[in-house]
Structure 1
Amino acid sequence: MFPTKHSKYPVVAIAKEIHPNVSLPNVALYHDVGYGLRKTRSQRRRAFRLPIVYTNSLADFNSWDNMFMEHLTGGITMHRPVTAPAVVLALGNGFDFWAINAAREWPKSRITAHSLLGMHKDKNEMDALLKLLNLTDRVIYVRGDPARELRLDYPNNTFDMVRLSYCSLNLAETEWYVFLQEVNRVMKPGAVLEVIDEDLLFPGHKPPAAAAEPEGSGPGTRCYPLSELATSDSRSTFTSSIHSVDIRSTTTSSILASSSRDLNHSDGSFSSLHDAFDPLDHSKLTRSWREMLTSRWISASITSVLPFYLTAIFETFRALPALEILMCSCSSLKPSASKHGSHQQMLDPEPFRHLVQATVKHDPDAHVTWLPASEAPTHYVASNMSMHLGRMVAIVTACKEAIWGAYNKLYGNDPRLPYLKSRCDDEEPGRTSVHTVREEFEHHWLNWECDMRSRIDMRSAIHTSFQWDCSPPRDEADYRVRWQRNVERSETEKATSGHSASQPVQRDVVRCVRGFVAWKFGGNVAEHEGGCVG
């Protein structure tokens, strides 16, 4: 049970419940969570290093996510307002597709789309788009400043509704309360706040089988030199591909295809990326991702933390069940390695169209079935796992340099980094080359990218849905064959050594999304809830 506004629940106890292993400083115990959080209120933001570089690819995935969630929840909002809000504030990142949808849904409403990252589409393009949609006088885009103080430059009691979407990478956990207080300040009495956010999970953080860690798999694991693998400014990563793609033509398949062609720039690249590592084991990158978040005090499980802050600030709030999307199986594995074969995750949308108490625990599998889309109940919604995974891959890729910084911090001073003999024919025999930590990082990153492309497998999805011929270009087909051969060899070696014997396939959640709705004290809550509360 979450603490109420007047309960005596120490802040330290809450912190211990959220992070059981955290080492807390010697701080005073407050009478309740609300009082304790209010004592920490500050208008000026501490130095905060944003880990993410916003791209057009992320804008495209955010637009798709808006359409998916609208289809799942049955509307552009999670609650059901009786009357349309007159003045709306949409807080998010970059180009906000939701703001345009809301303006079209509510023809008399004025929408302010505020980018917390301080960026959005080119002003001329935005003006042309809004003019085309006849929304110039009702939609305003505001460019925020992520480095300035945590304050919204709007008068008190301005907005009838505020929507806060996917800001978990923009705010440290210690800043959420201050920021939500600012949101509460600019809301009118009785106004509604909708928050939708997701846990920051690293896709592919669990291997297909929970095999025991083989001997020598620590930081000094043997690896061949990557003499032809480019460094951080290379075009052999998702990052370089998505920076140059225009938002009007970006698709998941185009991003992955361009990246695949770049990765295939040399026939020797993949031959040198031998079987020294398990190509499906991304544990080092996962640990670096978590270290990157921890060093910035970013909560990886924001959907579990938000109820505490909402309880301390708002009189009433409700929530939707957590939406969990499971990882797609790797298409490079044999069919028997896939838990569900050709079946796909189908969702019952009914639970996501009714708000409930945030403390109610839901079984994430209770309203999910695994069937071919043609055999599922007609009202069920396909989870579109490939698109969710593609979105998470784009988010992680946009944080690559921040992840590299954490990786270097964790493994850069490891004395076990090996000195390996070169495999290049033009070098003199016996000459050694240093295997750097950056090369090791790029090796793991390349394996992770290949794994994610294989799991997304957009060509197969398009062929299944539309019967289109989506055969890859010859150079990409060669690259896929080489990497799949490496995966098969690794799986065979694990089976022979007994590491994968009797090990079950683990439940791997690639995305966990949850929505919250809160009301500011002083208005008629029933007028906003509109019968949507279960």
Structure 2
Amino acid sequence: MMGPPYPYPSRPTRLSCSSTATHSNASDPSRRNIHRKENQFIYRNGSKLHAYDREKVPYPSSFDRDVIELQSLDNAILLDSTGKSTYIDFEARPKPTRCLDIGTGLGLWVISAAKLWPEATFVGLDMVNIQIPLQVLEQDIAERIEWVHTNILRNKLPFDDDEFDHVHINGIALGIPENKWYPLYEEIRRVMKPGATIEHIEEDAIFPSLPRWYTDPLRAHSRGLSTSGSVQARLSYSASSATSHLRHEHELLETLYDDVWSTRFINAYPTSILPGYFGAFFERVLSPPVVQYMSPPFAPFAPLQGTRDSKIPPLPRAITPHPNGTTTTIPQGNGSPRAATFTNGSLTTSPSSTLRVSTEDVAKCGLSPCPSVSSLPHEELDERAPSQKDPEAASMLSNTSQAGSYSSGSTSSKSAKRPSVMLLASPEEGTSLGGDSAADIFPVEKVQAQDEQTKYMHLYRTVTWVLSTKEAMWDELLARVQARDETLRKFGWKDEDYNEQASRARFEYAIDQYQSDMRGRISLWNCAVQNGWELPFRDPPTQAEVGEEMQLRHEILEAQKQSDTGALEPPVRKIRILIGSKES
């Protein structure tokens, strides 16, 4: 439902050329009932999806709570990095008085901007009604906000010509077919006043993966503990010898994820294509190179010791290389966590992962010594990563091409030297518009100064987005199964698997495995401990479980030592900021 009647003085309902536009202050009850919130969603296998036809709205992500809450994370990071709701410097120009937010989602940007510009009115536009109810906002904020619903791919924007002096867009590109950008930007320009500004922020569809040295030991132990002939053992196709040639454990899901975009004619890399479209419709365009948020380091192993009452020393410490080639140990937290082992899933499928730990640290935690990745050579410095010795180089544009940066390698002293965020200036992805003034738009130094745990939240955001397209990925797999696509045999399909039921079981297993593996990679327990929380309590592990876990950790560390530690992990997010204006 649209909620209780709007409690503040109503504005005249805008006449719209769109039969699907809805307004929070619409007075026609029958019109409101047609567009009740529950009628805009369908549920498939636990995912909450929009109810539009795929041809009309190709947006593939779900509207589950954990997905839409990502908007809160993005908004918080923007406010923390800029101190305001925009990358535009409105100190040197008149502040906007009438603003449009396209793809408003929860409406968080609108609410933040309404607090920043108390004289302005706002319209938040989206295809579904998931916005924060105006009734829960302060009156002086709510009375300046309006939520509008329409399908921007099929309908003209339900606004007058020259109505807005600022337009904000964030995160709609992965729902826009590439052939729709020209008509969409044309409509946006129509509703902008002469002199109005526009700010458009988009990011690429990245599929985070894990290196083989991490996942192969997990799968080996999983097979060893599986009961003979069990369903899980049969579905462990990813660890079988037939799939050992795959680039990484979750290549099937990555392939389906790519198909989600290509079959919808959506470019999965809007950071590379939008400058051309944007520059064709707006003037005074500024756009820094693509912003890259780098992969976080692997977290330390969680302590294995037994009960909440036992005193557990601080977590193992990360070894950080200095520019001169020496290493020092830096404590990973301020306190001494006291709790039992925390792992998401079984001990054998989700270890907390593998930041460098020393034999001494392991011994202090009461664990059996095992080979330490800190023994890996540190003298080879990666020329592709800006040195910490030169802060300016870390903040400036990297002249490195991304070719060769996307293999699934391990974290090492080389990747440890990478800054948390970089501005990319490769010919393929680093198009910069506006010269030096464009590079100043993004506060690189301030973002680099953010807490290290922020890196894990960026990874969490990207992984959650991937999982939000689960049902869209299933549609792509089902199409392959029905076409008896022979390429599925690469992923372990047999003749008896070319049916919907068997393929769905395989798909669910692959999703669960990816979710479990990435949960271990993200290691939110580690972020919590760094911020003063205690590890969740669980029953002490048995001696057999401790032995199994120690063996697994030993194998992971050994595999990491033997891997190609020179390979860099790809960024977990790549973001493009575009700023322009309508001059006449």
Q: Which residue of 177, 191, 197 corresponds with 1:192?
A: 197
Q: Which residue of 283, 286, 299 corresponds with 2:251?
A: 283
Query: What secondary structure is seen at the aligned counterpart in 2 of 1:382?
Result: coil
Query: What secondary structure is seen at the aligned counterpart in 2 of 1:299?
Result: coil
- The CA distance in 1 between the partners of 2:102 and 2:125, in whole Å, is 5
Partner of residue 570, structure 2: 508
Amino acid at match of 2:288: L
Partner of residue 423, structure 1: none
Query: What secondary structure is seen at the aligned counterpart in 2 of 1:169?
Result: helix
Maintained 8 Å contact 1:157/1:188:
yes
Partner of residue 67, structure 2: 58
- The CA distance in 2 between the partners of 1:144 and 1:474, in whole Å, is 52
Partner of residue 298, structure 1: 266
Amino acid at match of 1:141: W
Deviation, structure 1 residue 140:
1.1
Maintained 8 Å contact 1:87/1:158:
yes
Q: Deviations over 1:210-247 (max 9, x none)?
A: 99x9xxxxxxxxxx999987xxxxxxxxxxxxxxxxxx
1:386 lines up with 2:456 in the alignment: yes
Cα 1:451–1:109, aligned 2, differ >3 Å: closer, same or farther? same
Partner of residue 139, structure 1: 145
Cα 1:302–1:145, aligned 2, differ >3 Å: closer, same or farther? same
1:118 lines up with 2:183 in the alignment: no
Maintained 8 Å contact 2:292/2:421:
no
1:87 lines up with 2:98 in the alignment: yes
Partner of residue 51, structure 2: none
- The CA distance in 2 between the partners of 1:90 and 1:134, in whole Å, is 19
Partner of residue 520, structure 2: 454
Q: Which residue of 252, 277, 284 corresponds with 1:316?
A: 284
Q: Which residue of 101, 108, 120 corresponds with 2:112?
A: 101
- The CA distance in 2 between the partners of 1:226 and 1:401, in whole Å, is 31
1:68 lines up with 2:77 in the alignment: yes
Maintained 8 Å contact 2:415/2:568:
no
Deviation, structure 1 residue 315:
2.5
Partner of residue 18, structure 1: none
Query: What secondary structure is seen at the aligned counterpart in 2 of 1:461?
Result: helix
Cα 1:490–1:226, aligned 2, differ >3 Å: closer, same or farther? farther
Maintained 8 Å contact 2:194/2:583:
yes
Amino acid at match of 2:536: S
Percent of pairs identical after alignment?
Answer: 22
Deviation, structure 1 residue 152:
0.6
Query: What secondary structure is seen at the aligned counterpart in 1 of 2:190?
Result: helix
Maintained 8 Å contact 1:209/1:505:
no
Query: What secondary structure is seen at the aligned counterpart in 2 of 1:436?
Result: helix
> After the TM superposition, which residues 335-350 of structure 1 pair with which residues of structure 2 at under 5 Å, given as runs?
335=356, 336=373, 338-339=411-412, 347=420
Cα 1:172–1:342, aligned 2, differ >3 Å: closer, same or farther? closer
Deviation, structure 1 residue 118:
1.9
Deviation, structure 1 residue 114:
0.8
Amino acid at match of 1:98: W
Maintained 8 Å contact 1:150/1:179:
no
1:129 lines up with 2:198 in the alignment: no
Partner of residue 187, structure 2: 182
Amino acid at match of 2:291: L
Query: What secondary structure is seen at the aligned counterpart in 2 of 1:84?
Result: coil
Partner of residue 58, structure 2: 49
Deviation, structure 1 residue 501:
4.7
- The CA distance in 2 between the partners of 1:48 and 1:304, in whole Å, is 23
Deviation, structure 1 residue 181:
0.8
Answer 1 or 2: higher relative contact order, Cα 8 Å, separation at least 6.
1
Cα 1:304–1:521, aligned 2, differ >3 Å: closer, same or farther? same
Cα 1:410–1:493, aligned 2, differ >3 Å: closer, same or farther? farther
Amino acid at match of 1:54: F
Cα 1:74–1:356, aligned 2, differ >3 Å: closer, same or farther? farther
Maintained 8 Å contact 2:199/2:578:
yes
Deviation, structure 1 residue 438:
2.3
- The CA distance in 2 between the partners of 1:393 and 1:448, in whole Å, is 9
- Give the root-mean-square deviation of aligned CA atoms: 4.6
- The CA distance in 1 between the partners of 2:567 and 2:475, in whole Å, is 31
- The CA distance in 2 between the partners of 1:482 and 1:47, in whole Å, is 55
Deviation, structure 1 residue 445:
1.5
- The CA distance in 2 between the partners of 1:517 and 1:78, in whole Å, is 8
Q: Which residue of 466, 470, 475 corresponds with 1:400?
A: 470
Amino acid at match of 1:300: A
Q: Which residue of 238, 258, 275 corresponds with 1:307?
A: 275
- The CA distance in 2 between the partners of 1:451 and 1:437, in whole Å, is 21
Maintained 8 Å contact 1:90/1:163:
yes
Q: Deviations over 1:408-451 (max 9, x none)?
A: 3346625642379xxxxxxxxxxxx9993223222222221112
Could you tell me the TM-score, scaled by structure 2's length? 0.58
Q: Which runs of 5+ in 2 are unaligned?
A: 1-53, 217-225, 300-350, 357-372, 374-409, 425-430
> After the TM superposition, which residues 205-354 of structure 1 pair with which residues of structure 2 at under 5 Å, given as runs?
207=211, 273=236, 275-276=239-240, 281-331=249-299, 332=351, 333-334=353-354, 335=356, 336=373, 338-339=411-412, 347=420
Cα 1:192–1:386, aligned 2, differ >3 Å: closer, same or farther? same
- The CA distance in 2 between the partners of 1:470 and 1:446, in whole Å, is 23
Maintained 8 Å contact 1:329/1:455:
no
Deviation, structure 1 residue 73:
3.1
- The CA distance in 1 between the partners of 2:541 and 2:179, in whole Å, is 45
- The CA distance in 2 between the partners of 1:119 and 1:493, in whole Å, is 51
Partner of residue 325, structure 2: none
- The CA distance in 2 between the partners of 1:136 and 1:50, in whole Å, is 29
Q: Deviations over 1:43-102 (max 9, x none)?
A: xx9644331222322332112211212222342111111322000001124212111010
Cα 1:144–1:482, aligned 2, differ >3 Å: closer, same or farther? farther
Amino acid at match of 1:506: L
Q: Which runs of 5+ in 1 are unaligned?
A: 1-44, 214-223, 230-268, 370-376, 421-432, 523-534
Deviation, structure 1 residue 382:
3.3
1:418 lines up with 2:480 in the alignment: no
Deviation, structure 1 residue 203:
1.9
Amino acid at match of 2:201: I
Query: What secondary structure is seen at the aligned counterpart in 2 of 1:201?
Result: coil
Query: What secondary structure is seen at the aligned counterpart in 2 of 1:455?
Result: helix
> After the TM superposition, which residues 519-530 of structure 1 pair with which residues of structure 2 at under 5 Å, given as runs?
519-522=581-584
Query: What secondary structure is seen at the aligned counterpart in 1 of 2:88?
Result: coil
- The CA distance in 2 between the partners of 1:54 and 1:311, in whole Å, is 32
Amino acid at match of 1:120: I
Query: What secondary structure is seen at the aligned counterpart in 2 of 1:103?
Result: helix
Partner of residue 253, structure 1: none
The alignment covers a number of residue pairs equal to 393
- The CA distance in 2 between the partners of 1:443 and 1:482, in whole Å, is 27
Query: What secondary structure is seen at the aligned counterpart in 2 of 1:453?
Result: helix
- The CA distance in 1 between the partners of 2:500 and 2:516, in whole Å, is 25
Partner of residue 175, structure 2: 170
Cα 1:66–1:185, aligned 2, differ >3 Å: closer, same or farther? same
Deviation, structure 1 residue 339:
2.4
- The CA distance in 2 between the partners of 1:450 and 1:76, in whole Å, is 35
